[in-house]
Amino acid sequence: MSPERALRIGVGGPVGSGKSSLIAALCRDLAAGVQIGVVTNDIYTTEDAQFLRSTGVLAEDRIVAVQTGCCPHTAIRDDITINLEAVADLELAISPLDLILVESGGDNLTAIFSPALADVQIFVIDVAGGDDIPRKGGPGIARSDLLVINKTDLGPLVGADVDRMVADATERRGALPVQGLSLVKPPHALPVSEWVSAQLLAYGREGHLHSSAVGAPDPHHSHPHSH
């Protein structure tokens, strides 16, 4: 069964964790073979959309900015109408799309996407935020389909134990994957790009995602670790 719409992946996480930079890197990695659109969320500005447009990773009309005017949690979890409309308008304007990345506005550890908005979700935290973040938990850390611990290259500079962060996150998440990441050092965003590609493959084959497909590790990255 082929899917009737694009796969929607939510990308959430605290302010400054690197959500927009990760999305830009994913677009660079995947755009040659995947038709991508992006919906960004900001409360009162369109800064995230402007940043992505400035990178040149996608044509400008593939990046849509949503101004929520309210708590970011509301627009991605509770009253998701404004985001669903943005997604629908994007798919109507540019067809066909294979993948739509929906970026949450800067939120905290309690934010999570409604399953009516995102088929799967990536939650991004960063090393500079403190190596106790995985122990503090929250829905994004415990339940997201992929947890990314970003900016691992900063660990020595900020006194953070990256290996401990990965271990604590893995303990809290069980079988759900954890990926340490540095966007400035090889392999850059490749592990996350491969995970997204696996979700696209499963979604294209089935027209929906099974829980086993969501959590399945990439064969080249078969266990949680940091780079």
Distance CA 63, CA 101 (A): 10
**Against a cut of 0.95, is the pTM above it?**
no
Over the chain, what is the mean pLDDT? 90
Domains in the chain and their CATH numbers? 7-215 (3.40.50.300)
Distance CA 125, CA 137 (A): 11
pLDDT at 152: 98
pLDDT at 109: 83
Asked if residue 223 has pLDDT above 50, the reply is no
pLDDT (mean) for 143-166: 97
Torsion of CA 186, 190, 191, 196, to 10 degrees: 170
The model's pLDDT over 62-86, given as tens digits with 9 standing for 90+, comes to 999 999 887 778 899 999 999 999 9
pLDDT at 86: 97
Q: What tokens were used for 84?
A: 């669903």
